[in-house]
Amino acid sequence: MNQRIDVRGLSCPLPVVNVRNILLEIKNGILEVLVDTGTSKDNITRMAINIGWKVEIKEEGDEYLLTISK
Amino acid sequence: MLKEFFSSRNHVIFTGIFIGISAAFLQKLGNPPNMGICVACMERDIAGALGLHQAEVVQYIRPEIIGFVFGSLIAALIFKEFKARSGSNPLIRFVLGFFAMIGALVFLGCPWRTLLRLAGGDGNALFGLVGLVVGIWIGIFFIKSGYNLGRNQRTHPLVGWIMPIMMVGLLLLLIFQPQLPSGAVFFSSKGPGAQHAPIFISLVVAIVIGFFAQRTRFCTIAAIRDLILIKDTYLFTGIISLLLAALASNLILKQFHPGFQGQPIAHSYQLWNFGGMVLAGLAFTLAGGCPGRQLFLSGEGDADAAIFVIGMIVGAGFSHNFATASSPKGPGLWGAASVIAGLIICIIVGFSMSDLGKKRMEVKR
């Protein structure tokens, strides 16, 4: 079962900080992130790639599902 | 493809360079010295034009502020990022906007003008910059302690359109300049408020900046915050580009005058240059972004950011009416007291809205 986190509606920088904390804790595996703004999608993607994770972005209506894996 | 290009580092560097060059040229074309663009000062001028304060030298409807919102709105509509949203503790955001402005007007500039003052050779801005970093650092302490203003909610598109429509109203007042018996609309006949570039040029330049800033998420607070908090240099390269481009442009345009004394629209009371920006930096960090970013967010439908902007404009009115704003002669009568009061209130907000305060509330229950 993949871990999943919903960061919709949160102000900067909470989406990226919350996701980063989980990635640093689990070290590897798959994390699904539900995001509602382009800013959070970009910030989380950049942060995850910077610390060595892969990111897959899927648009769901006007929201995004990011699948972050290592 | 296009979306990827816009979020690339090259693009944020380009945005920083464009803002830096634009600011220097807007000054050359008539804007006040080292104030080609200053979000706080320009909102303060708008507050004056509307009669929210009576400081006769700083009253003008600055088209740059209007253009920032329009530019962001256009980008958000084109790229389908316009989403009306609100409800993340708006009253707290109003208070943060209010005190961000109080602090900025003690220093005499927002984070954008801090960089532009440095690029113009104003050494006093170094103390403001250090204050800004300290304020952001305090904000980061609260963020690490679980600070959270809560989730916003999607709402009717009308709510997202309110700020852009308000800007249309301001633009109409600027173009037609109605003269009412009260004296409104108030426009300065001398001082910084009387110095401005041609309306059309300012508006177009600001629309372009708003467009690119919305795409790149340009933010002077996040630039420093992200560097410290998550070691991300993306936005930081943007503000360094801004600084260097403004510096180079000022050198070419002979607008670079290094020193501490007699700097334009600045004072040398370094404790309060520092203190004012600690307050502003903390308030901006707790609200999630710099004053420019709040305008860009307002343009893409974020009503909480719009409330922050309105808090800043009201704060500007209060600041001049209650002598908390500085002048080139130094801090106002209540300048120091207002910075201390603002810091106490922002720290209470940071404490209350983080785990530090929430834990305590749970114990009480």
pLDDT, tens digit (0-9, with 9 covering 90-100), for B157-178:
999 999 999 999 999 999 999 9
HEC string of A33-59? EEECCHHHHHHHHHHHHHCCCEEEEEE
Find, among B192, B177, B203, B179, the residue nearest to B70 by Cα.
B203
Q: What pLDDT score does B47 carry? A: 98
Check if the beta carbon of residue B274 is closer than 8 Å to that of residue B135: no
Positions of chain A with pLDDT under 70: 1
Q: How confident is the model at residue B361 (pLDDT cuts 50, 70, 90)?
A: low
> What contacts B42, CB < 8 A, 6 or more positions away?
B62, B64, B65
Strands (E), B59-176: 85-86, 153-154
Amino acid identity, position A40: S
Question: β-strand B153-154 against B85-86: which pairing, if any?
Answer: antiparallel
List the 60-89 stretch of B: residues with Cβ below 8 A of A. 79-81, 83, 85, 88
* Contact across the interface for A11 and B88, Cβ inside 8 Å: yes
Find, among A45, A13, A42, A35, the residue nearest to B222 by Cα.
A13
Q: How confident is the model at residue B260 (pLDDT cuts 50, 70, 90)?
A: very high
pLDDT tens digits for range B288-309: 999 999 999 999 999 999 999 9
- From the list B81, B151, B232, which residue is nearest A46 (CB)? B232
Strands (E), chain B: 85-86, 153-154
Check if the beta carbon of residue B88 is closer than 8 Å to that of residue A9: yes
- From the list B83, B226, B234, which residue is nearest A13 (CB)? B226
For CA atoms B139, B305, B307, B355, the dihedral sign is negative
For CA atoms B317, B321, B324, B328, the dihedral sign is positive
> Mapping DSSP to helix (H, G, I), strand (E, B) and coil, where does residue B197 land?
coil
User: B93 at the A interface (CB within 8 A)?
Assistant: no
Q: B211 to chain A, minimum CA–CA distance in Å?
A: 14
Q: A55 to chain B, minimum CA–CA distance in Å?
A: 14
User: A5 at the B interface (CB within 8 A)?
Assistant: no
pLDDT tens digits for range B89-102: 999 999 999 999 99
Find, among B334, B328, B336, B322, the residue nearest to B272 by Cα.
B336
Query: Is a pLDDT exceeding 90 seen at residue B319?
Result: yes
Mutate to test the interface with A, among B232, B233, B302, B354 (most CBs of A within 10 A): B232
Summary mean pLDDT of chain B: 95
Tokens 């958000």, residue?
B76
Show residues of chain B in contact with A43, CB under 8 Å: 217, 232
Tokens 């852009």, residue?
B164
Q: How confident is the model at residue B8 (pLDDT cuts 50, 70, 90)?
A: confident
Check if the beta carbon of residue B311 is closer than 8 Å to that of residue B54: no
Using CA atoms, how far apart are residues B193 and B197, in angstroms rounded to an integer? Answer: 11
Using CA atoms, how far apart are residues B295 and B56, in angstroms rounded to an integer? Answer: 25
User: B8 at the A interface (CB within 8 A)?
Assistant: no
Q: What phi, psi does B255 have (nearest 5°)?
A: -110, 10
* Contact across the interface for B234 and A14, Cβ inside 8 Å: no
User: B14 at the A interface (CB within 8 A)?
Assistant: no
* Contact across the interface for A11 and B222, Cβ inside 8 Å: no
Find, among B69, B97, B94, B89, the residue nearest to B152 by Cα.
B89
pTM, full prediction: 0.96
ipTM, 2 dp: 0.94
Which residue in chain A is spatially nearest to B152 when comparing CA positions?
Answer: A9
* Contact across the interface for A13 and B230, Cβ inside 8 Å: yes
> Mapping DSSP to helix (H, G, I), strand (E, B) and coil, where does residue B198 land?
coil
pLDDT tens digits for range B208-227: 999 999 999 999 999 999 99
